[in-house]
Amino acid sequence: MKALYPGSFDPITKGHIDIIERACKMYEEVVVAIMTNPKKQATFSQEKRKEWIEKSTAHLKNVKIIVGSGLTIDLAKRLNIHVLIRGIRAVADYEYELQQATTNMMLNHEIETVFLVAKPEFSFLSSSVAKEVASYQGDIRNMIPEEIIDEVLLKFSKNP
């Protein structure tokens, strides 16, 4: 069985990697979909985010990275995937994700959402937090995969 893990991944964090690794133990294939969120202005291009996820998940043999658009539920249907993976860090995430999962159930009752709770060391972590620390050239070693730290910091040294 396949699972779809959608997100903006702008940039990917160690929390995202942890969710991907755990999902890979549960499913034959995990498709990581870099989605456009019209409510967010992306800092990094979709191509750069795809490259970074590929580098950061190279140790996982059952991961596929794609760029998606439109409704996640429609992408899942096109890919014949019946499970969506979502990470939960805190109560606020749960409320938002519950609303999304319920909406998706109304749109397509054949697709289930599986919530994976963030490990405590990642419960504070988001791409936004990592970008804010990086914008001040702060230490992001515990936030961002090692493979991409230099590139993330370089971006913010040019555009603080």
Catalytic residues: 16, 40, 89, 127
Orientation of helix 127-135 relative to helix 149-158, angle to 10°: 60
Backbone angles phi, psi at 32, to 5 degrees: -90, 120
Q: Is residue 116 classed exposed, middle or buried when 0-12, 13-18 and 19+ CB atoms within 10 A define those classes?
A: middle
CA distance 156 to 134: 6
Token readout for 21 is 């690794």
CA distance 125 to 19: 12
Residue 61 DSSP label: T
Report the SS3 class of residue 42.
coil
CA distance 19 to 159: 30
